[in-house]
Amino acid sequence: MIVMKFGGTSVQDAKAIDRVAHIVQGRLADRPLVVVSAMAKVTDSLLAMGKAAGSGDRKTALKMARALRERHYDTAGELLGTALFTEFHGDLGADFEDLDELLRGIGAVGEITPRTYDYVASFGEVLSSKIVAAAFVARELPGAHVDSRQCLLTDNSYTRAVPQVEETSERLRRRVQPLVDAGKVPVMGGFIGSNAAGITTTIGRGGSDFSAAIFGAALNAQRIEIWTDVDGMMTTDPRLCPDARRIKTISFDEAAELAYFGAKVLHPATVLPAIQKNIPVYVLNSQNPTCEGTKITARAPRTRNIFKAIAAKKRITIIDVAAPRMLLAHGFLKAIFDAFDRHGVVVDVVSTSEVSVSLTVDSNEAIPELAADLAKLADVKYEGRKAIVCLVGENLRDTPGIAAKVFGILEDMKIRMISQGASEINLTFVIEEDDAAEVVRRLHQAFFAEADPEVFG
Ligand code: ASP
Ligand code: MG
């Protein structure tokens, strides 16, 4: 069997869901389990309703719920046609009655707790999974809706509940496997689960990929397909460099290095349960289903190209902390990092010498206060408008002379910090923000002009 997960944009309206049905139809022989996100933007609007109700604004909350109801009714009506929709209408209607009642309750109390936020948010996936299952049936696909809350057991940390993988796997084998065996296509919402007391939980924003990976790992899927609205992961940002190519296959470790650079496609950490079981994960485009996408595997095949991708991130600030007599003093680095911690500022690249430490952070308002705090320990300077460039590839590990080649290409550029990650598969450095596009283009030209056709599209 396989798991096919469709994100919010892939189920955003009737046309998109119709495309999903076609894509699934074409995979029936692989015995798919389908996991869906809420329709695009629905989770955001549910959370906004909860917030409005929680601040006592019941009217706004109910008005938003009405708009949501219409959107789902319109979509279902368009997908099902009048006769089927009339039959299905009551089921959806009951959910919307529950949502209204919930919002009234929250409004009456004038307060919303994380537990209640989860209940409100869960409607998105509950509704989308029911509509997609019904649309399948209307198209003579053997869709069978399964309420994920009866399968995905989590702990009690509402809004970021932690899946209990063993019991969840057991339940999936008991309830979902027989459906697959009987030739049905189970349709389940991602993101939602319930705790041991049966109370609805969610596993964190963007959690549907994680649900798909857990389900696939539990049922020993042959592969997991993450259907989204881009062709997969790219060698670099096509907006910076029009020559960017699609990466056909990438290792989990390489994908993880790129995650920080806003590879919004998918956060690799969420598919770890699948990778750990050696199940390949594909990123595919529901608007361009014949494109092969990107395959993420535990180990990437050997390739001639040293790098898989070049990522760049702008809006970076460098903070230099210099203390000629203090750096070697025991506890000094700890004191620096404690200051970052106190201000809630996340550090990305770090490089140190005997007398100074340079760190990068995403530019943000907390920096002046943080710098003032650091100034109690040492001399501090900070400078914005920098960019981080990161070259990623497993071949970096055992190819000599790479740094010379990279920096040779950039010999006229001002390089501010250099760091080769402990993972040995990334080479990272910091440059002036205004140079970012030029640097990426030059490196891309040097390292991808001759791209291995096995690995790059
Ligand atoms: N609908 C949820 C969200 O928007 C989960 C997901 O789409 O993965 O965060
Ligand atoms: Mg997502």
What is the pLDDT, as a whole number, of residue 199? 98
Return the number of other C-beta atoms located less than 10 Å from residue 160's C-beta. Answer: 15
Q: State the Cα angle at 262 between 303 and 350, rounded to 5°.
A: 85
Pocket test for ligand 1, best of 10, 12, 43 (most atoms within 8 A of CB): 43
Tell me how far apart the alpha carbons of residues 2 and 175 are, in angstroms, rounded to a whole number.
Answer: 16
Three-class DSSP category at 70: helix
Based on DSSP, count helices (H) and strands (E) in the chain, helices before strands: 13, 16
pLDDT digits (tens, 9 = 90+) for 83-121: 999 999 999 999 999 999 999 999 999 999 999 999 999
- 236 C-alpha vs ligand 1 centroid, how far in Å? 25
What is the pLDDT, as a whole number, of residue 329? 72
What is the pLDDT, as a whole number, of residue 326? 63
Residue 218: CA atoms inside 13 Å, Cβ hemisphere, count?
A: 25
What is the pLDDT, as a whole number, of residue 333? 87
What is the pLDDT, as a whole number, of residue 262? 63
Tell me how far apart the alpha carbons of residues 357 and 228 are, in angstroms, rounded to a whole number.
Answer: 41
- Locate the DSSP E strands across 300-352: 309-322, 350-352
Spans of the chain, pLDDT less than 70? 262-264, 325-328
What is the pLDDT, as a whole number, of residue 19? 98
- 422 C-alpha vs ligand 1 centroid, how far in Å? 32
Amino acid present at 439: V
425 pocket-lining for ligand 1 (C-beta < 6 Å): no
The residue to which tokens 């959107």 are assigned: 71
Tell me how far apart the alpha carbons of residues 307 and 295 are, in angstroms, rounded to a whole number.
Answer: 16
The environment of the single-atom ion ligand 2, i.e. residues with CB closer than 5 A, is 7, 206
**How far is C-alpha 376 from the geometric centre of its chain's CA atoms?**
39
Q: Residue 359 pairs with which residues in a beta bridge?
A: 319, 350
**How far is C-alpha 71 from the geometric centre of its chain's CA atoms?**
25
- Locate the DSSP E strands across 67-222: 143-146, 185-189, 192-194, 200-202
Token representation of residue 166: 């063993």
- 83 C-alpha vs ligand 2 centroid, how far in Å? 33
207 pocket-lining for ligand 1 (C-beta < 6 Å): yes
Pocket test for ligand 1, best of 10, 12, 35, 37 (most atoms within 8 A of CB): 37
